[in-house]
Amino acid sequence: MKPAPTRLRPLCVLLVWLPLGPALAQEREKPREFLDSLADNALAPDRNAIYRRDGKRREIDLGDGIEASLDEAKASFLSNPRGTPGGAGVVSRVIGISARKPSYGYDLSYGRSALGRRAGLSGGWRLGERVVLYADVHENRSEIDDLPGTPSTRLRRRDSEFGLRWRSADGSTSTWTTDLALHQSRLAPDPASALVPEATGEQLVWRGRLEPASWPGLSLMAQLNHVLGREPAPSTELSGHRIGLGADWRLADGWGPLPAGSLLAWRESPRLGLLGDDEALTLPAAYRRSIGLELPDGSGRGHVYTQLRHRSLADRDDALGVLGWQRNWAPWPRWGLDTQLEQAVPLAGRYPIRATQAGGRLSTSRFPRLSFSTALDLVNASTSDSAYHEIKLTQRLADDWLGALRLSVSRSQPHGNSAAGSTDYKGALALGWREPQARALHLLSRMTWSGREVDAGVPASTSADRRARIWLGHAGYLFDDHHTLTVRLSHRTARDETRLDGNGLVLPHRTQFWLTRWIWEQDREGDQRWSLSAHVAGRSDNLDGAARAWGAELGYRVSSKAALTLGYNPRGFADNEITVEERPRKGFTLRLRFTIEGALARWLDNGRSGTATPWSLPDNPPAGLAPSLDRAQEQSAAGF
């Protein structure tokens, strides 16, 4: 007998109306400026700096109508394709390239996080004044291990769509957009389960979108999916059939109590299958109904939002409410603080997961004197709890001295069980110096430590403790405008509880690594950009034995601090933890080469004075602008 449906509890939201201020604009970078900034990773790794700068996503103008964008996006409970909250500090790093031409356009994107990755390619070709032939292919791979009653699953979903898009003439009349397409979906979980099923299907898709001229900002949408073929024959919950209706209304001038800039969104699918959902990876993540509201918070730098989701494919009684607030603050001059607070509230049904996440990032950039950021992220869910904290500092200590610090620690555990979790940490402290007269000799010393501490309640077969410390010493000498010699030494001590002797005792692990590289460049600073380099390297390990590597690289300088190189090593070895950005493994290599010499010069050549100004907080809080909190914008498939 089917259990009686759970009563839907009301979700009450109180929002305060205040006027909305102007948003801050994005600044596009030139490719060489972008690549030069990445040289700092040679001092101490900082992946966040690759995707964000001064709190904003990075946009690069590649010229000829082509743009690239990089961003870090935190997981959100809004339209979450997994149906689970994920962990603290888990961000999706997204890279996108888009082009807009009179006759065609395309978007290429790739995103990756600790939970999986997503790749997509879409393009459109204009066949006439109002008709576009378009294609859209995207694939989502995810690790799902926190869905109630479901085993740990590796899931892959691929969607491909090819069709025609017709758009009515632009002008003062209402605008129609119509798609007619062939869509194929495939879900391939390993292993398959009741909530994460396996299915394949093809659908004929019609979509329509109307933007009435008499209602500015309003869009009305409809979608019909008709199944053409499927293998194997799925149930109603898995089929590609879909009847969908929706509306978005962006209020340009406000309406009643809603201020200008507010957004109302509604989606309703009287008939829906998982294959027809386009994005959801699991049955609990696909809902037939969603109603959302987004409001500016009155500061000009933030917004609050709420969403009600009802009738999932896993249980028709499922209902989930989401509340959130995102805001950027300017606590001091040239400082920015990004904050996010979001809560998912189960209202009814068996599968919605209660979760609350709160996070913030405080940052400032005073290049070439100082760059600092710190972040804290907390997630408390009915399935698991997690926390993440990081500190990043690069500071010029004097005209010829530079220091860098990177620290991060994360903790995860089952909800309410503090004896069955794990803690991961990593840190790096680097000190660099350049000889002041000829500026030819460059030295860097860096200590890195990392580890994982596993609680006693975690099975030994699942995870084990590991600790490692690595010292790196680097010396580089610039003989003239063409020749450079570098020498690198590293020593690692590690304790890994998975490596035991015959008596069950942990084996001490010690590794030494050295590398010498000679680089010849046509001209280090001029228009001649080609270079050749040769290297020889060695590793001595008390557990894995000795190894040697040698090879050469052909490089082309793409910016003042970066070179694109193609190399080959007839003999080599792989140990990324100790070799870091070097590539001594056997075979061909392709990489962007950033040198420690270039990274030191980037900071020490700019703004030279007698003594570097020590870092301190400003005395008086200001009313200045700060970096804005940007949200990733999706590109349309056709791009016209």
pLDDT band at 462 (very low <50, low <70, confident <90, very high): low
Q: How far apart are the C-alpha atoms of 63 and 30, rounded to whole Å?
A: 9
* Banded pLDDT at 8 (limits 50, 70, 90): very low
- Cα 313 from Cα 448, distance rounded (Å): 48
Model confidence at 612: pLDDT above 50? no
Place of tokens 């494919």: 313
Question: For the purposes of burial, counting CB atoms within 10 Å of the CB of 125, is it exposed (0-12), middle (13-18) or buried (19 or more)?
Answer: middle
Percent of the chain whose predicted confidence (pLDDT) is above 70: 88
Which residues sit opposite 246 in a β-bridge?
221, 267
Q: 581 has which bridge partners?
A: none
pLDDT mean over 489-497: 92
Which of residues 572 and 457 earns the better pLDDT score? 572
Confidence of residue 195 (pLDDT cuts 50, 70, 90): confident
Q: What local confidence, expressed as pLDDT, does residue 79 receive? A: 64
pLDDT digits (tens, 9 = 90+) for 142-175: 888 777 778 888 889 999 999 999 988 665 678 8
Contact, 95 vs 67, CB < 8 A? Answer: no
Q: Residue 487 pLDDT more than 80?
A: yes
Helix %, strand %, coil % of the chain (to 5) = 5, 55, 40
Structure tokens at 127: 């066949």
Average pLDDT, the chain: 83
| pLDDT value at residue 3 | 40
- The string of DSSP codes covering 615-635 is P---SS-------------PP
* The pLDDT of residue 170: 62
Preceding peptide of 45 cis, ω within 30°: no
- pLDDT for residue 234: 56
Q: Which of 180-184, 267-271, 288-292, 604-608 has the lowest mean pLDDT?
A: 604-608
For the segment 385-397, what is each residue's pLDDT rounded down to a tens digit?
A: 999 999 999 999 9
**Pairing of β 56-63 and β 28-29:** parallel
Q: What is the reported pLDDT for 540?
A: 95
Phi, psi of 421 (to 5 degrees): -115, -170
- Give the residues across from 209 on adjacent strands: 177, 221
The CA R_g of the chain, rounded to the nearest whole Å, is 27
Out of 399-408, 412-421, 429-438, 551-560, least confident range: 412-421
Section 424-440 average pLDDT:
94
Q: What is the pLDDT of residue 625?
A: 22
Stretch 366-381: mean pLDDT: 91
Average pLDDT over residues 588-599: 91
- Strands 466-478, 483-500: pairing is antiparallel
pLDDT at residue 515, as a whole number: 97
Tell me which range, 25-34, 412-421, 515-524, is most confidently predicted by mean pLDDT: 515-524
Higher pLDDT, 13 or 571: 571
Taking the domains of the chain in order of start, what are their residue ranges? 383-608
Which fold, 383-608? Porin (2.40.160)
DSSP string for residues in 372-424: EEEEEEEEEESSEEEEEEEEEEEEEEETTEEEEEEEEEEEEEETT-TTS-EEE
E-strand ranges in 114-213 read 116-126, 131-144, 153-167, 175-190, 199-211
pLDDT at 277: 86
What pLDDT is recorded for position 634? 33
Higher-pLDDT residue of 87, 468: 468
Answer yes or no: is pLDDT of 18 > 50.
Answer: no
Q: Is the pLDDT of residue 9 over 70?
A: no
CA dist 175 and 211 (Å) reads 5
Rounded-to-10 torsion of CA 624, 626, 631, 636: 80
Q: Which residue has better confidence, 77 or 297?
A: 297
pLDDT at 255 over 90: no
**Which pLDDT score, from 0 to 100, does residue 279 have?**
80
Range 543-550 average pLDDT: 93
- Per the document, the length of the chain is 640
Confidence of residue 4 (pLDDT cuts 50, 70, 90): very low
pLDDT at 311 over 90: yes
Residue 11 pLDDT level (bands cut at 50, 70, 90): very low
